[in-house]
Amino acid sequence: MTEKITGAQAMVKCLEAESVSVVFGYPGVAICPFFNSIYDSEIQRVLVRTEQNAGHAASGFARVTGKVGVCVATSGPGATNLITGIATAYADSIPMVAITGQVNSELIGRDVFQEADITGAVESFVKYSYLIKDARDIPRVFKEAFYIASTGRKGPVLIDVPIDIQNQMIEFEYPTQVSLRTYKPTVKGHAVQIKKVIHALEKAKRPVLCVGGGVLLSNAEEEVRSFAQKHSIPVVTTMMGIGVMPQDHPMYFGMVGNNGKAYANLAMNKSDLLIMMGARVADRAISQPDLVTENTVVVHIDVDPAEIGKNMGPSIPIVGDIKHILQDFEKHTFTGDYSEWIQQLKTWKKEKEVIRNPKEGYVDPAEFVRILSETMDENAVYVADVGQNQIWSCNYYVMRKGRFLTSGGMGTMGYSIPAAMGAKQADKSRQVVAVCGDGSFQMSFMELATIRQHNIPIKIIVLKNNYLGMVREYQHYTYQDRYSMVSLDGSPDLKMIAAAYDMPFRRIRTMDEIEAKIKEFLAVEGSGLMECIIDSYDLVK
C-alpha cells in the first residue's frame, strides 16, 4: 500500500519531479505547511524581501535556464504583492509557476483574515490558474501547470492552495503525461505558408527580418543568425529581441521602435517584405502598423495564433515555433539579390546614427554602457531596469555571446536587481550585472539583504541623476519643463547603503575614471555596488 503524505509534501514532491532546483518566496501562515515540507528537500529556498521580487527573480532564473521559474507567497497581501511579478512575466512570455497559500476552503468567500481571490485577480495576467479543492488533484495540477507554462506561448501559471488542502493526507503518484483536450499548441508551421514565404523572398528587393523575444524563448538565435547570414537578409530587433544578433554582425541594424535606432525604423518602414518573427507588433515597436502594411508584404510568425493579426494584418500568417519553422525554411532553396538594399541600409546607418553631446563633468551613460558591456565577460548576463537607463542600455549595449534581460511589455521599474539574482542562481558560473536608475534602485534595494543572506554575487550599477529621468524627459518635451513629482531629493547616500549591507562600493563622477574603475569593480570578488553620477537633464538621445 502506498504511504500517505500531506498535500504540502505532495507539492514538494511535484517540484522535485519537475527538477526544480530553487524557489523564490516569502512565507506566511497560509503557506507554512508547504515551507515546512520543503525544509527537508534539497530544493534551495531564497527568501526575498518583498513578494513582487520573488516573481522577478523567478523570471530571471527562467530566462537564463529556459526552464520554468518558481515563486511562492502566502495568501492575501502576499499573493496580491506577487501580481506585478506575474504580470511582468506574462507580458514577456516568461515560463513561471506561482504558488500561493489560501485560507481554509470552508472560509473562502467570507472575507476572513488575509483572504484574497487571487485566481480572479490574476485572470488577465496568467495563461491559466488553479484553485485546488482536493489534495488528490495536486499531482495532476502541478504536472499540467508546468506543461502549460513551458509550451506554446510560454507564460505564468498560478496554483492557489488552501491551507487545509496542504494538510490533507493523500496517496501520491506523479503523472507521467499530460492530457489537456483544449490545449494543443502548434509547433510545426504550415508547409503551404512556408512555401509562400520562400516565394516572397525570391520576389523581394528589400526584405527585413524583425525578431522579438519569441526567438530567444525558442532558443532559435543560431537559426536566425544562420538564415540572415546565408541569404544576406538584414535583421532588426524589438526590445525583447536584443541579444539574438551580435552587435557587430554585418546583417544587424539595431532596435526598432519609439526609442530605437532611426535607421532600424527606416529599414522596417521602407522594406517591401517584412518578416516578423516571435514579436507581438506592440506599440513601442511599431506605433503605426497601418503605414507599414501599405506597400509591404508582411509575414507574421508566432507560436500564439491570438497575436497574429491583432495589431497588424499579415499577408502571410504562420503559426508555430520559430525554431522549427526556420529549420523548415532551410529545406528550401531560393535566390535573392539584396545587395543594393544592404548598401542603402549601411548608408542610412552612417547618416542617422545619433551623435550625443553629453555635458562635461559627468558620466555619459551611453558611453558608460558601451564600455561596461565590452569589459564584461563575453557570456555575461546584463540586466537593464526601466527608465532612461533601459533605453541607453538597449541602444549602446554591445552584444556578444551573453544575455540581455529587461522588462519589455510591462515596463516594470525595480526589475533588474531581483531578476539579476534569479539569473545568477540559474548559472553561478556567469557574471551578472544589473544596471538601474536611482528611481528603480530604490524600488528594490531591500534585496541587498537577500544578496547578502544567500551570497548571490551580482554587480549592481546605479546611474544617478536624482530624477525619475524618463518621466522628467517626457515632461520636458510635453509640458515645457513643468516638472511634477519627479525629483528624487531625499535619496539615501549609496555609499552608506552599501556599507550597511557589507557590500563593496565604487563611485564614478567623470569620464576619465570610467575604464579603470569598471575593470576594478568587475574584478572585485562577490557582489558590489557602483554609483555613476550623470547629468540630471541628460536625454536618451
Strands 273-277 and 207-211: parallel
Q: pLDDT for 463-483, tens place per residue? A: 999 999 999 999 999 999 999
* End-to-end CA, the chain: 69
What pTM did the predictor assign? 0.95
Three-state DSSP class for 512?
helix
Sheet with strand 316-319: strands edge to edge? 252-255, 235-237, 207-211, 273-277, 297-302, 316-319
CATH superfamily placement of domain 365-533:
Thiamin diphosphate (ThDP)-binding fold, Pyr/PP domains (3.40.50.970)
Sheet with strand 505-508: strands edge to edge? 403-405, 381-384, 432-437, 459-464, 528-533, 505-508
What architecture is domain 191-352? 3-Layer(aba) Sandwich (3.40)
Site of grid cell 543560431? 222
**How many CA atoms, within 13 angstroms, populate the side-chain half-sphere of residue 128?**
19
Site of grid cell 502548434? 186
- Positive or negative CA dihedral for 374, 375, 380, 382? negative
DSSP code per residue over 71-118: EEE-STHHHHHHHHHHHHHHHTT--EEEEEEE--GGGTTS--TT---H
Q: pLDDT for 93-112, tens place per residue? A: 999 999 999 999 999 999 99
pLDDT of residue 280: 81
Grid cell of 511 as nine digits: 569620464
Cα–Cα distance measured from residue 253 to residue 267, given in angstroms and rounded to the nearest whole number:
8
CATH superfamily placement of domain 4-171:
Thiamin diphosphate (ThDP)-binding fold, Pyr/PP domains (3.40.50.970)
Domains 191-352 and 365-533 share a fold: yes
Indicate the pLDDT class of residue 216, thresholds 50, 70 and 90.
Answer: very high
Cα–Cα distance measured from residue 150 to residue 259, given in angstroms and rounded to the nearest whole number:
31
For the chain, the domains span: 4-171, 191-352, 365-533
Q: pLDDT for 361-409, tens place per residue? A: 999 999 999 999 999 999 999 999 999 999 999 999 999 999 999 999 9
Yes or no: say if 212 and 243 are a contact pair by the CB < 8 Å rule: no
